Structures are given as C-alpha cells and as structure tokens.
Structure 1
C-alpha cells in the first residue's frame, strides 16, 4: 500500500472539530472531502463504517490525540454524496461507499480501457476487470466489487455495456 501524505491540517487539532464559523467550516469540510477521497484512492478501499471510524487512521490522529466525531464524519460523507463521491449502503447511513471518481467517471474509465484494448463485443468477468493481468496497470484494478457494479450500471444506462451472470460468475459485455 502506498504511503499517505497527510496535509498540514491533519496535524492541526481544530481540524478534528467542526468549526462554527460558516466560511471556516466550508473550507474545513472541503479539506476533509479531499483528504477522504485521497485516502480511499491510495488505500484502494471503498467502505466507511461510521461505527468503526475510530479504528481508522484517517479519522483518528493518534500523534495529536484527536478523533473526528462520528457526527462530523456523517456531515463529510453527506457532502461527498452531494458531489457524487459517496452513497450510503444502509438506511441508517452507518455504512457508506466512497468513490474517488464518481460512478460515471469510473464507468467512462472502464469503457475507455475496454475500447482501447479491443474488448468491445466481448465479455470480461468482474474478476478479470479488478484482479486480472490485463488491468494490473489500470486505476480500477483492485476496485471494490460493489463500486464496480454501480459503475457498470452507468454504462448499462448509456447502452454501452450489459452486466451478465453465468455459472457462478458475473461479468460485463461491452458494446
């Protein structure tokens, strides 16, 4: 896993408390959004469980003994949701998917790869897309399966692909 370069704010204790002043708070939330997306991109993770955030180094800076409260994490996740970079996995909004690219962007990235590598008209399994040798240099290599499926659904809606099931596998046919 690549090393995270923490921004200066991460070592600034007030960064871990939502600020009351509107302009300061807006800048703080923007910085958190950027940090969350970068962290999940580098670690190739996708799921945030709000109940377990205090075990996550992203929200828990042990070196300054600061933790971001779960209420603040929810505010940040809601903001990420507004920009298309997160969505709740449950009705209680305790588990979220985080996308460092929006689902449409992921769909475009995957579709462009399929076109450039002559996979249009053929089927790729989800495993081949996220774990296969052909994609080892691609940004979507290692992508969470749920994020992959949601991305491919944007391609289905655009009539560029179809998700298919066969035997015990799932795959996608690119058009």
Structure 2
C-alpha cells in the first residue's frame, strides 16, 4: 500500500500506543477505540487513494494493522469487528461471503455522485452523454478528485445519481460497465 504523495501519512498518536491493538473490555473505551480505528482506516485509505482491502493480506503486511515499531498486530477478530462497524455506517461493502475482501468507501457513493454531478454541471455536460471511462480516466477529469476512482465506485456513484433522477446510465456490453455511458440531466 504505497503512498500517492511525497509526504508521509500522519499516523494518529493512538497508533503508537500498545493498548490500541487490544480490544478494550470497558464498553465506553471500546466504543472510542473502534471509532478511532474506523477514522484511521478511512483517513489512511483516503490519503493513499485506496479502495479495496484484502484483510488477510493487510493483517500480514500492511502498516495499517501491523505496527512493527511496537511489534503489535491487530487481531483478525478485532479487525473484523472494526470493518463490520464501517459496514454498518455505510463506509464499507464486503465483496465476498467470507468477509475477507471489501470495498472501503472513504466517501459514500452519494458523495462521489454529488462531486461527479457538480463537475458535469460546471463543465456543460448536462444533457450530454459521456462514458464511464471518460469520468474515470479522461483528460477532462484529470484534476478532479474522482479521477482514477475505482471503477465500481464510479458506477455506484452514477447509480445514486440515476436513483435521484439526475442521470441515466446507458449500459453497454462489458460486465464491469467500463464501456457504459451516462447522460446527466439538469
């Protein structure tokens, strides 16, 4: 999980506190601990522009769950509890039944949809069609926050716009919808 910026990710103070890696027994403390972990995961994924988490891989080697300075690793059970909390908050979607691979949504699909729609509005794409690929990787979006966004997230964002009557997805042949189009409505 490499950083996309020249500066280092700023770890919270709790990251270097050994008890942070052990699920706390006091329920109030545990709730604060889980909330701190949720914030850490979302901030880490946002900073590094990551979207997919493989839990087994992350617990083996990611600095997110493995603090080599402290020689501490978050347990799988605690990590699963935290990820399930993110799921209940709408910031995570499991990609498999085993709950090992998930999509981490540091912005919800609705938030991404709002950014995409604002771009379409600001750039005169209302009542015109563009492709999902153009949104994801096009020259017109290179300076946008959603540029390079995981394709599945682009599609989820567009689905929220479609549900709100602000866009119509025009599906093509690829199951991943990379060749789909979208028409934005004013």
TM-score, scaled relative to structure 2: 0.88
Gap regions ≥5 residues in structure 2: none
Q: Are residues 1:109 and 2:102 paired?
A: no
Count of residue pairs brought into register by the alignment: 175
CA distance in 2 between counterparts of 1:8 and 1:83 reads 24
CA distance in 1 between counterparts of 2:31 and 2:48 reads 26
CA distance in 2 between counterparts of 1:171 and 1:72 reads 41
* 1:62 aligned to which of 41, 65, 68: 68
Cα RMSD of the aligned pairs, angstroms, is: 1.5
CA distance in 2 between counterparts of 1:76 and 1:102 reads 17
CA distance in 2 between counterparts of 1:5 and 1:149 reads 31
Please name the residue that 2:50 is paired with. 45
> CA shift at 1:166, angstroms?
3.9
Instruction: Please state whether the residue corresponding to 2:50 is helix, strand or coil.
Output: coil
* 1:137 aligned to which of 134, 143, 157: 143
CA distance in 1 between counterparts of 2:169 and 2:71 reads 46
Gap regions ≥5 residues in structure 1: none
Please name the residue that 1:161 is paired with. 167
* 1:15 aligned to which of 20, 34, 45: 20
